[in-house]
Amino acid sequence: MKRNLHISFFRKIMLMISRVPYISHRLILLGDVVISLLATMLSIFSTESLLRIFLPSRSILTIYLLSIVASLVGFLSFRTHKSIIRHSNLQSLWRILAACALKCLLLLPVLYWTLPDNSLRRFSLGLIPCIDLLITMFLLIVFRIGLISAYQIATRNMHNQRHKLLIFGQQDDLPHLSALLNLNFRSTYHVAGVLSFNANERSVYHMGNLPIYFAKNMNDVARLVRKEHIEGILFASQHDLLAQRDRLVAFCMKHHLRLFTVPPIDRWKYTTPQAREVSIEDLLGRDEIKINMPLIQENLKDKTVLISGAAGSIGSELCRQIATMGGIKRLVLFDFCETGMHNLRLELEERFPDLDFSPIIGDVRASRRVDFVFRKFHPDIVFHAAAYKHVPLMEANPCEAFRVNAIGTRYMADTALRYGCEKFVMISTDKAVNPTSVMGASKRLAEIYVQSLDRAIAGGHKEGKTRFITTRFGNVLGSQGSVIPRFKEQIAKGGPVTVTHPKITRFFMTIPEACRLVLEASVIGQGGDIMVFDMGDPVRIADLAQRMIKLAGFTPGQDIEIVYTGLRPGEKLYEEVLNNAEITPPSPHEKIRIATVREYPYHEVAAEFETLKQLALEVDIDGSVSLTKRLIPEYVSNNSEFEKLDK
């Protein structure tokens, strides 16, 4: 019974030690000063014993007091107490040596005036500082070794009770990263080693206390996982994760190993990185797109920027990225969604306390409200992201799609021109290419209007200086109402996961990636351009569903079924970013191309838009759709009641 009590008490002590994130710098400094004073005492005692020099008590007390002062000067000068002891390295030892040397140098004048004036003074002046230096160094190092050993014993005891992970990535930084990750004692996981693929190395060696496991192939990995009882893999970066998507990631999903990743260091919330589970967005993403940040910052510096649809997925991310850059005069948020705007406002106030921003509730369909916003703030640059985007919903409500996506864009563009904005950047979609839905057709109408308006200005037919740029890209991962959140909900409920068709594919891009390219396009666009983003390879939605089920730890077809429900109204099997007649000369950015599309005379487009506005206000559904089909000959409805209007 007593033995069990002792073990329990020991575990409590170990737990307490392991959970201490770091020892206070003041306590370390106090401990170092006490050790340094003890070293001075021992050095004087040793010198008295060797040379038979006995100092007066007052002189010894003076030396002790000045030793404390000299120690403080040395330790504070070289900041020996500032580093975390458990991560001490050779640089830390040099700091300790330098601090001790400075202390001894400062003690020399004191010793000179304190020691008795006799023939042994010169020996004492050399002997006492040397002994003091050696003892101080020895005791400080022992002190640190003791703390490190206690910490390692405590963490080893705790790690034995946690699930094991292997970390995969570039080897240079992995030991340090794994040590930092193991500080997070709220986690139930522990980094037990590093995994590396290398056919020419032996199976394992150690770097410090961290084993490095080398594998020639996936069979070696499987044996290692079984032998060491590994329960997950942690990828050190997004690049490492994507590089192993078809090998190590696929292996983990097949064998139900957990997948983790670490955000870039600039996104760490605390000094300890917060490892998180890999999401489907991570697996569908690409290496981070590089943009000309200095040029974008210069373009936005001291400007008033207006973002319509600011509470949406793209609009809110644009707000974050622009706020992060800093230097803008004012950020104007325009959206009719009260809850979304409220949440965005709270986020911006918390993350960017110095940002001057104005949240405005309003609708792009209300021309007078739009005019009020421009009249009050006089924006220099407009990012127009407000739109209705859900294909089946807009197929059932075509007049509202035309009013928001086409007529609303016209109001925004005309007002921007009237108030002398420098640039107007419109967010379009790949569904505008060879549209088969009302939603896609309404966005193509918006493209036609802003491009024809820009051409009219360039040709001298309209007065103004505003340049109009269109950006066109596909689905964004994790946007509101997109397929990925829907699949997550279905998986959480135990299935089934519903996919419309076994062969349906879509292009995907992360929201931050899309917004970076929008900002880049705003700089390199010359006006009248339709900037088409490189969307990578299309993704089969059925494959996406299977990956998400596996990521959740289930087996598709056994634990969770995939059910095919058939194409929805207006839906395509395959999306396109260009139609067959559009060619794309390159732009200054490798991920952006410029679509060469059929151009429309502005006066004809403006007249047709007036007619469309009246038809939409009167809720003349067939009339508004028929007009749109006449304006866009490539608009052919698919799986829709409006197929009758194609005949």
Of 51-55, 296-300, 328-332, 620-624, which gets the smallest average pLDDT?
Answer: 51-55
Residue positions annotated with a catalytic role: 431
Q: What's the confidence (pLDDT) of residue 5?
A: 41
State which of 74-83, 417-426, 549-558, 571-580 shows the largest mean pLDDT.
417-426
C-beta separation of 278 from 241 below 8 A = yes
Q: Do domains 162-278 and 293-596+619-646 have the same CATH topology?
A: yes
Residue 341 or residue 121, greater confidence: 341
Rounded mean pLDDT, 586-600:
70
Q: Which residues contact 485 (CB under 8 A, 6 or more apart)?
A: 478
What is the tens place of the pLDDT at every residue in 41-59? Answer: 887 777 667 666 666 666 6
| Mean of pLDDT over the chain | 78
Q: Which residue has the higher pLDDT, 79 or 417?
A: 417
pLDDT at res. 25: 67
Lowest-confidence pick of 155-164, 370-379, 566-575, 589-598 = 155-164
Q: For the chain, what percentages of helix, strand and coil (3-state, to nearest 5) are there?
A: 55, 15, 30
HEC string of 5-18 equals HHHHHHHHHHHHHH
Q: Which fold has domain 162-278?
A: Rossmann fold (3.40.50)
Question: CB–CB of 612/624 below 8 Å?
Answer: yes
Mean pLDDT of 10-39: 63
For 73-97, b/e burial (b = at least 16 CB within 10 A) is ebbeebebbebbbbebeeebeebbb
Where along the chain do its domains lie?
2-157, 162-278, 293-596+619-646
304, 379 in Cβ contact below 8 A? Answer: yes
Higher pLDDT, 315 or 142: 315
547 neighbors 253 (Cβ within 8 angstroms): yes
**Residue 169 has what pLDDT?**
74
pLDDT on residue 15: 47
Instruction: Reply yes or no on whether the pLDDT at 21 is more than 50.
Output: no
Query: Does 334 or 548 have the greater pLDDT score?
Result: 334
Structure confidence at residue 434 (pLDDT) = 86
Residue 125: strand, helix, or coil: helix
Instruction: Report the alpha-carbon angle 428-313-351, nearest 5.
Output: 135
Residue 14 has a pLDDT of 46
Q: Is the pLDDT of residue 202 over 90?
A: no
List of residues 6+ apart from 251 with CB closer than 8 A: 218, 221, 222, 257
Give the Cα-Cα-Cα angle 389, 395, 398 (nearest 5 degrees): 85
Which residues lie below 8 Å from residue 486, measured CB to CB, with a gap of 6+?
Answer: none
Q: Is the pLDDT of residue 307 over 60?
A: yes
Interval 155-182: pLDDT, tens: 555 444 567 788 887 655 555 555 545 4
DSSP state of 407: I
* Separation between Cα atoms, residue 145 and residue 379, nearest integer Å: 61
Q: Could you tell me the pLDDT band of residue 268, with boundaries at 50, 70 and 90?
A: very low
Does residue 191 contact residue 208 with C-beta atoms inside 8 Å? Answer: no
**pTM recorded for the entire structure:** 0.66
Q: Determine the CATH number of domain 293-596+619-646.
A: 3.40.50.720
- Residues, the chain, total? 647
Average pLDDT over residues 452-474: 90
103-107, 345-349, 454-458, 539-543: which has the minimum mean pLDDT?
103-107
pLDDT value at residue 48: 67
pLDDT of 619 reads 95
- Residue 84, pLDDT above cutoff 80: no
pLDDT of residue 131: 78
Please check the confidence at residue 526 and state whether its pLDDT lies above 70.
Answer: yes
Integer Cα distance of 452 and 446 in angstroms: 10
For residue 90, what pLDDT is reported? 47
More confident site: 34 or 16: 34
- Looking at residue 418, its pLDDT comes to 95
